[in-house]
A = this chain, B = another copy of it.
């Protein structure tokens, strides 16, 4: 059984695999393990994963067989376990709780491709809809306080399977990153009376230098204090705290903006490794309407080292203004057919 442990000094939770821990020897074998012969996420190999939790499939096709377009399965090596109460136990100065949580894999295509950028916009739309559906489903479990949805693409970004997929971890606490964001948003609102993210959208739209794509409902830009080269955020222009409440037309535009952004990023640097992180309000507690949900795309060209780990500060060798320009230039280099075209109409990105 795994265990959540809390650092006694700072608000930092760690999932410790107490059950099947890795000894020094296991780390020496890492390279070997990467050479997987058969991909368990490919269409036709459904029996190689644990039983399916959810899927969008052609009517009449059976669970755990071909016919799906997006498929959700439990992580075969979950960091957390579904059973157990999320009750804090104190052991002297230390606090811990059982490793309660849910760890799911969202398979984003039937085909063995590494990136979401090569998928049609309609497919990306189904992926985002599945994120929403799983969020709505899992927050009915009152033990969970945050549903974390993310993607690791490329080895440097921590992907252990090449086949295009995202992950979901339901957690029994609000993690520090989200708590600190909420705190920052509250402080800003108290001081200025407005949402800092809404104000950022206004300033970015006016200044233009960091804008990558300006849609009707979403703004895509490289943040002023980008931690990583080519870091790119996508924000709904409307103040919305809850990704779970995304509307159909927003979902459609988001799919197009996200797909095209990933295309630009991978065009700028070939095989760019990146993490994609959905930031949304916590669940099952006082609603945090103050929050402004968004997506952060974090390319992993630099290594987080002793400076970053020790201070929480970052060194970014690519100014976001230069990154945005490079991404806009990358868009120019792509063929119109490459970009999000839906029903003959250019996607929001290409048209503006």
Contact = CB atoms under 8 A, between A and B. Distances in A.
Contact of A28 (B16, B188, B270): B270
A7 interface: yes
A59 interface: no
Nearest to A304: B304
Contact of A313 (B175, B269, B298, B304): B175
A9 B181 contact: yes
B279 A225 contact: no
Given A23-B322, A203-B92, A181 B10 contact: yes
* A interface residue count range (under 10 / 10 to 19 / 20 to 34 / 35 or more): 35 or more
A305 B5 contact: no
A35 interface: no
Interface stretch (A126-134, A151-159, A245-253, A343-351): A151-159
B318 A22 contact: yes
Count of this chain's copies in the oligomeric assembly: 2
Contacts of A296: 310
Given A11-B180, A203-B93, A322 B229 contact: no
Interface in A2-56: 5-18, 21-24, 26-28, 30
A185 B8 CA distance: 9
A14 B306 contact: no
Contact of A17 (B155, B167, B318, B326): B318
A296 B313 CA distance: 17
A254 interface: no
Contacts of A199: 92-93
Contact of A227 (B14, B30, B159, B313): B14
B23 A319 contact: no
Contact of A226 (B16, B96, B224, B268): B16
Nearest to A158: B305
A213 interface: no
A166 to B, nearest CB: 8
A4 to B, nearest CB: 8
Given A6-B225, A79-B307, A169-B307, 5 more contacts: A5-B224, A8-B184, A175-B312, A176-B312, A279-B310
Interface of A: 5-18, 21-24, 26-28, 30, 79, 92-94, 96, 146, 148, 150-152, 155-159, 167, 169, 171, 175-178, 180-181, 183-185, 188, 196-197, 199-200, 203, 207, 223-227, 229-230, 268-270, 275-279, 296, 298, 301, 303-307, 309-320, 322, 326, 330
